[in-house]
Structure 1
Amino acid sequence: MLLSTSASVQPGKQSWPALPFDKWKETCATLHLWSQVVGKVRLVRTPWLNHSWHVPFYLTSRGLTTSPIPDGERTFEVEFDFIDHLLRISTSDGLAKAIGLQPMSVARFYREFFACLAALGLDTRIHLVPNEIDGAIPFDQDERHASYDAPAANRFWLALLQADRVMKQFRARFLGKCSPVHFFWGSFDLAVSRFSGAPAPAHPGGVPNCPDWVTRDAYSHEVYSCGFWPGGDALPTPVFYAYAYPEPEGFKTAPVRPGMASYASAFGEFTLPYDAVRTAAQPDTVLLDFFQSTYEAAAGLGHWRREELEYRGPQAKPAAL
């Protein structure tokens, strides 16, 4: 029995939605900053993991979640629900608070969120300057970013949901050290990273409002990373991307698939327009081809021990176990 259906999402098949950046860029910027407010709470309350793997969000069937965060012997979780358009805070001892996602400034969102945390006994302090953003305004002073287009936010989540699903298929092909498929609120992208196992040269750093030691920890070992980014001022269109650090000689001119993919020198990565995937007859096949071919370029030119790192077992579940 179907109990309820939000007006922002309809039952049935969920396809790759259109996501023109210029139609929702103000909402995107605001949502990015809201996510940082929430993400920094996970950051300060969770034990540090290499490559900052303790800070990202994860896709859910309604939005994005922090996953459980420790609070002594109890836990709490924060979820952006892009169907009912709520920010939910729930604790393992049965308490809960929610904030309606609607047009409001970052400063107001910060105040309301932290008031909810305090009411739940979750007093927390965070660094108020956003990370990885030039000219960042402290959260408690930001009255500039205040947009929220609910249908656009829902389409963004649906795009992430499709990307997450395919990226998990790609992740399953690798036997070596590999990240989860996770959403970084600092750079506002969905990513998965594969590692060769070899150490990498020290990263030069230079990421805005991010200590260089954090960047060097993230890139401490040879890595191939790919993902989805909804767009920004520097590249105002949603794209899938792939890069390697350190970038091996010949990577930028390597033949990759499909033909719509290209190397963006300004970003040091291959990009594939989201629309090229969305409008394809077989979007999953096109996207997997992009990830696989860029990985092969990185691993082949970087002399990775591919025979030891790539999973060659069954790619389909047995009918019964």
Structure 2
Amino acid sequence: MQSVAVQEFRSVALLFPGQGSQFAGMAQDLIRESPEARELLERADDILGYSLSRVMAGDLGDELNRTVHTQPAVFVHSMALLAALRSRYTFAPIVAAGHSLGEYSALCAAGVLEFGEALDIIRVRAEGMDNAQPLGTCAMAALIGPSRDDAKKIVDAHRGGQVLEAANFNAPDQTVISGHVEAVNRVLEAVKEERRTRAVMLPVSSAFHTSLMEPAREALKERLQKVSPANAAFPVVANVNADFYPDSGNSIKDLLTEQVIRPVLWEDCVRTMQRSGASLFIEIGPGKVLTGLMKRIDRKAPAMSISDLETLRALEAPPQ
């Protein structure tokens, strides 16, 4: 569902993707043609102290796939798309949520975090997560097929004294597991012959959303103490508990701090947005991962993605 007019919808939920949706050349069309997007990219370069624009363009080889660059890149891409969208169309979402890193995009979209401050927090978060465990010792994999309860049983059966945890409950039949690489490999080996279960190793180098991220949690907690969150323009659903973010600044900081060591309850977040009245789900950012997950969560729910200038123009709404 791509050719629609935004102003026809009154109950829009915004979805923001996380790490893994990046690609070389991301946001380059926006930089060329959207002054709002170009301004955000220039600000990002100044805040980070290096050319994120060149990293996103793919000019620096595989640097884009390093966590320290991936997370800022995905966030900035989402915010650049949102800025271009808001400059063209009248647009009033009723709720938002983001997957992992995408939660910062959702909070920024709602005005809880200012762009520059959010980007600096993400920088600290990404560095902490990248350095939390030695390179090559951790892994993540998607289990496709088992229910949430069955995925938990698989994790329990193959932990073997190491860290192995469910990291993302993405859909009724998709759970991401995370932990020490040997433990993850045990699961992959065990399900090889299972007809109803498929396991796919993810292209990440650490064990996000597990207890192994405790060093990152501490670094993030320290940085968040300096933040003064603003009131949200619309509700944002938290990954940690699939409930709406409170107005309390301390509670917001606590939820963001806990997020790096706790599982992402994505399916539950979507259900919360549906109960709040959302009738159209629009993913804003690189790729279509969350749009694909919507089909697994609720095939009847209208969902679309805005990932580049072409899909933005396909909305076919008249300018303001």
- TM-score normalised according to structure 1 size: 0.25
- TM-score normalised according to structure 2 size: 0.25
Question: Which protein, 1 or 2, shows the higher relative CO under an 8 Å CA cutoff with sep ≥ 6?
Answer: 2
Larger radius of gyration: 1
